Structure 1
Amino acid sequence: MSIAIVVETPLQDDVRGLVSRLNDHLLPLSPVEFQFKMTVEQMADSDTTLFVARNETGRAVGMGALKMHGPQLGEVKRMYTVPEVRGQRVGRQLLDRIVDLARQRNVPVIMLETGTGEGMAEAHRLYSRYGFVTRGPFLDYPDSEWSAFFEMRLDAEKAA
């Protein structure tokens, strides 16, 4: 399957559909107060860059974003691929684009928060295989059994 990944606005119907599917996927996995979702309107803010993966027919099949928290920290947000393309490395390609953008911006570290439990096992594997390591909470995320935190140091790459 051929995939194109480009920066797009989240303010379009098919991206809203992806966000809705992601939210539906997350809903049964943890209490709502431990789900830190961005709306499409929040994703459209200038500090967030959204990548959308589209198949050969132009259908949106995945997304992922880099949200900047100043020049020192980038956060991976709203990573999702539709079930039909899982296992086809679409998530990896989205993560490649996000990390590449962070490198271009000379961001020293990128972090992410994701859920825990069996429903998030694939995401944990993707992040770990990519080079993210577990860490404690960051920013204003609470420490809870419902969240897992990861980081990847990009400044360590330059020092090596």
Structure 2
Amino acid sequence: MTTTLTIVEDPLDSPVVRDFLLTHLTEMRGTTSLESSHALDLDGLRAPDITVFTAWDADERGADALLGTAALKRHDAHLTELKSMRIAPEARGRGLSHRLLDRLVAEARSTGHIVMKLETGTQDYFIPARAAYTRYGFTECEPFGQYRVDPSSVYMELAL
């Protein structure tokens, strides 16, 4: 069976997407203390400075499966932040995070941004995410924007 991956800007109006993001938020809040959790809820993801992307896999029958999400938060003309990146458990290890990052980096470059930053956790749960970001070329950096030094957070950046 052949499949086709499609990554699109998402208006967050699908129950499937909302449920996927709610699962992400629940996982983040269950893994990180409340004061160190920076995952956005649906209202936060609907802010005008945020663009959400979803990755869909369609098979030859036309059945779509949501495999991943990620969002860009514009801080200013130069800095954009990666938010709410999640890959469905059944899709992990297939290079989807790299393809999703390719799409977001292209989007950020097209709008003139020169750096992408992110915040992620230090807990063991986040080891695969930190490894994926490092493989992609992100390096650790100082806190940025509203973030402060926090033993539960790692900050990373990628020059675009």
Normalised by the size of structure 1, how large is the TM-score? 0.90
Kept after mapping to 1: 8 A contact 2:72/2:83: yes
| Two-structure CA RMSD over aligned residues (Å) | 1.3
Kept after mapping to 1: 8 A contact 2:25/2:41: no
Kept after mapping to 2: 8 A contact 1:11/1:41: no
Q: How far did residue 82 of structure 1 move?
A: 1.0
Kept after mapping to 2: 8 A contact 1:65/1:78: yes
**Which residue number in structure 2 is paired with residue 93 of structure 1?**
99
Amino acid at match of 2:46: A
Structure 1: which 4+ aligned runs deviate by more than 4 Å?
A: none
Q: Give yes or no for the alignment of 1:75 onto 2:77.
A: no
Q: Secondary structure at the match of 1:151?
A: strand
**Which residue number in structure 2 is paired with residue 148 of structure 1?**
154
Q: How far did residue 19 of structure 1 move?
A: 1.1
- Structure 2 segments unaligned to the other structure (5+ residues): none
Picking from 70, 93, 111, the partner of 1:105 is: 111
- Structure 1 segments unaligned to the other structure (5+ residues): 155-160
Q: Secondary structure at the match of 1:120?
A: helix
Amino acid at match of 1:104: S
**Which residue number in structure 2 is paired with residue 4 of structure 1?**
6
Alpha-carbon distance in 2 for matches of 1:11, 1:112: 25
Alpha-carbon distance in 2 for matches of 1:119, 1:111: 20
Q: How far did residue 72 of structure 1 move?
A: 1.5
Structure richer in strand, relative to its length: 2
**Which residue number in structure 1 is paired with residue 34 of structure 2?**
32
Q: Secondary structure at the match of 1:28?
A: helix
Amino acid at match of 1:100: A
Alpha-carbon distance in 2 for matches of 1:146, 1:10: 29
Q: Give yes or no for the alignment of 1:137 onto 2:137.
A: no
- Equivalenced residue count is 154
**Which residue number in structure 2 is paired with residue 55 of structure 1?**
57
**Which residue number in structure 2 is paired with residue 158 of structure 1?**
none
Q: Secondary structure at the match of 2:64?
A: coil
Kept after mapping to 1: 8 A contact 2:52/2:69: yes
Q: How far did residue 23 of structure 1 move?
A: 1.8
Normalised by the size of structure 2, how large is the TM-score? 0.90
1:18-72 per-position Cα deviation (integer Å, ceiling 9, x unaligned): 1111122223322111111212222122211111011212121210011101212
